[in-house]
Amino acid sequence: MNAIPQIFEEESEALITDPRRRRRILVAMLTALVAVIASVSALNVAQQELAVDLGASHSMLLWVINGYTLALAALLLPIGAIGDRWGRRHVLNAGLVLFVVSSIGAALATSAAVLLVARVASGVAAAMIMPVTLSVITSTFPAEDRGRAVGLWAGFAGAGGIIGLWASAFVIDRYSWPWVFVLPAALAVVALALSVTSVPNSREQQAGRFDVAGALLSAVAVGGLVLAIHEGPERGWSDPISLVSLAAGAIALLCFVAHEMRTENPLLDVRILTNRSVAAGSLTMLMMFAVLFGVFLVGIQYLQAVLGYSALRSAAGLLPIAAVMMPLSNVAPRLAARFGTRLILTSGLVAFGTGLVMLATMPSVDGGYWSVAPGLAVVGLGMGLAMTPSSTAITESLPADRQGVASALNDTVREIGGAVGVALLGSILNAAYSDAVSPAVDGLPADTAHTVEDGIGPALAAAREMGPAGESVASAARAAFVSAWSNAMWAGVAIAGIGLAWVVLRGPARRTERRTTEGIADTPSAHPTLDLVLDDRQPVGV
């Protein structure tokens, strides 16, 4: 018997028929997911408190914030494959336990160094949790319910960052920074209790050695590239850390591709990226999350600096994205089934780009919140339409025994996209702001001029110290920021346009690419479990 029928026999045994148990599994996975996603943005609103209480420098704070993301992104693919091979529930539960322990350790930290270690450990735990949440859903839910479940997962994955930002701002506003780590830990405890009682332990039944070399190379490749993207804009691209991490990441990526093409048991058969569904889903996810994280970065600054909102009110100001995104993510699978994945992806990208055009043209210094709220809602509309079909295009194109890798690929693309978006749109924003505010600093002392050009936050602080004379400087800084915001949003429009062009020209076939046991070539490939076919029975990626 060849490997493919064995896979589908295993899949059928893993499917859960009891709807009440499926609901418990779904609640467990969504709760774990929100705990992980919310922790990504948790510290963005607590930096000032951490600097005061722990004596942390700006550089150390960046390492504390980025350490979590770096560990998460670097380990997603290897740990996703480990879950496939040794049991998804085992990896999930171990990750939840580590997440709870490390989050409590972060809450009790008495120094920045201890907090950094705890955050890196939390990132490792998050890498054990995040890909498994999706692979458990895709491997246990029957086909008729899988699309809706994946839609809910995608909605919570997209909105989790906003929810975490708002919850963290609420906690900081009313309590103190250690409580920022308590809520995710509590969510992880709930998820662990549900997982132990409801989640089956599905895994692959495939012989062959684990791809240790591929796992190490993927970790270095993703980790190096994400570190370079984080550090480049902050330190400068000529800084040794930026250069070394970029070079290490690029070299490891090339070695990873070459190794995966040769080995008999690859961690990720890179030929899967020639599958039009996988390519379109991955590129759409990469670009949309790059722009979305950029919108988070720019939007929070606009609401705080230009409109004068508090951190809590600013985080709440981004909620229209989640309010529109989450229900649409649940509807999107049904729309894709009726009208086709390609049409829904295209519609989502058009709506996403339209929202960005609105954000580029409508906001002003005097326009208030309602100059940005419609654009945020339309961005959420585009995300809601496109996210679930993108995730489904990736997971449905890999066989049942590789769902951990499929989920990890989906999550890795999201994490890299977010890192790229913050670096790219943040750099565009800073450069455009500096150029726009330059005329206003003529005649100011050199130190003050440098402070004003450094960013909207320092500029407003300097203006307050100047008394009445600083009002013109503050007005100029706000106007310069709105101009820079527009430049950043137009860059987002260009990114969305590239994604749209790809989907139109090279998107999923009219009939979606899917897994099947029929129509496989008589001569098996070197990687039979990764053979993919179209509905017209043409082999892909072999």
220-231 pLDDT, tens digit each: 998 888 888 877
Per-residue pLDDT, averaged over 461-485, amounts to 86
Q: How far apart are CA 15 and CA 7, in angstroms?
A: 13
pLDDT given at position 415: 80
Q: How far apart are CA 418 and CA 283, in angstroms?
A: 13
- Report residue 403's pLDDT band, with 50, 70 and 90 as the boundaries: low
Q: How far apart are CA 330 and CA 152, in angstroms?
A: 5
pLDDT given at position 105: 94
Residue with tokens 């490390």: 102
Per-residue pLDDT, averaged over 126-142, amounts to 87
Which of 73, 103, 99, 79 is CA-nearest to residue 91? 79
- Per-residue pLDDT at 442 exceeds 90: no
Q: How far apart are CA 397 and CA 381, in angstroms?
A: 25
Indicate the average pLDDT of the chain: 81
| CA 9 to each of CA 87, 349, 400, 520, 528: distance values in angstroms, whole numbers, following the listed order | 17, 37, 10, 17, 15
Per-residue pLDDT, averaged over 136-153, amounts to 84
The token pair at 328 is 């649409």
Which of 412, 354, 399 is CA-nearest to residue 157? 412
Q: Which CATH superfamily is domain 276-513 in?
A: MFS general substrate transporter like domains (1.20.1250.20)
- Report residue 7's pLDDT band, with 50, 70 and 90 as the boundaries: very low
Radius of gyration over every alpha carbon of the chain, rounded to an integer in angstroms: 23
- Report residue 304's pLDDT band, with 50, 70 and 90 as the boundaries: confident
pLDDT given at position 254: 94
Per-residue pLDDT, averaged over 363-369, amounts to 85
Q: How far is CA 464 from the centre of its chain?
A: 37
φ, ψ (nearest 5 deg) of residue 356: -70, -35
Identify which has the larger pLDDT, 250 or 13: 250
- Report residue 398's pLDDT band, with 50, 70 and 90 as the boundaries: low
Q: How far apart are CA 357 and CA 360, in angstroms?
A: 5
- Report residue 128's pLDDT band, with 50, 70 and 90 as the boundaries: very high
- Per-residue pLDDT at 158 exceeds 50: yes
Contact between 354 and 320 (Cβ < 8 Å): no
Burial of 49 (0-12, 13-18, 19+ CB in 10 A): middle
Q: How far apart are CA 69 and CA 239, in angstroms?
A: 21
- Per-residue pLDDT at 525 exceeds 60: no
- Per-residue pLDDT at 9 exceeds 50: no
- Report residue 207's pLDDT band, with 50, 70 and 90 as the boundaries: low
Same fold across 17-202 and 276-513: yes
pLDDT given at position 533: 32
Per-residue pLDDT, averaged over 81-88, amounts to 81
Supply the DSSP symbol for 539. E
First and final C-alpha spacing in the chain: 20
pLDDT given at position 351: 96
- Report residue 204's pLDDT band, with 50, 70 and 90 as the boundaries: low
Q: Is the pTM of this model over 0.85?
A: no
pLDDT given at position 348: 93
Per-residue pLDDT, averaged over 45-68, amounts to 78
- Per-residue pLDDT at 159 exceeds 90: no
pLDDT above 90 coverage of the chain, percent? 27
- Half-sphere CA count of 17, side-chain side, radius 13 A: 2
β-pairing, 532-533 vs 539-540, is antiparallel
- Per-residue pLDDT at 445 exceeds 50: yes
- Per-residue pLDDT at 22 exceeds 50: yes
Per-residue pLDDT, averaged over 63-75, amounts to 85
Per-residue pLDDT, averaged over 29-48, amounts to 83
CATH class of 17-202: mainly alpha
Extents of the domains making up the chain: 17-202, 212-266, 276-513
Residue with tokens 């699309």: 147
Identify which has the larger pLDDT, 355 or 170: 355
- Report residue 518's pLDDT band, with 50, 70 and 90 as the boundaries: very low
- Per-residue pLDDT at 319 exceeds 60: yes
At position 374, the amino acid (one-letter code) is: P
Alpha helices in 17-87 (DSSP H): 19-41, 47-54, 58-86
Tens digit of each residue's pLDDT (9 = 90 or more) over 407-441: 777 778 888 888 788 778 888 888 888 888 888 77
DSSP H/E element including 57: none
Most confident of 6-20, 201-215, 338-352: 338-352
- Per-residue pLDDT at 384 exceeds 50: yes
- Report residue 12's pLDDT band, with 50, 70 and 90 as the boundaries: very low
pLDDT given at position 58: 67
pLDDT given at position 449: 84
Tens digit of each residue's pLDDT (9 = 90 or more) over 252-293: 999 999 998 888 888 877 887 788 888 888 888 889 988 988
pLDDT given at position 404: 63
- Report residue 399's pLDDT band, with 50, 70 and 90 as the boundaries: low
Per-residue pLDDT, averaged over 491-513, amounts to 81
Q: How far apart are CA 466 and CA 66, in angstroms?
A: 35
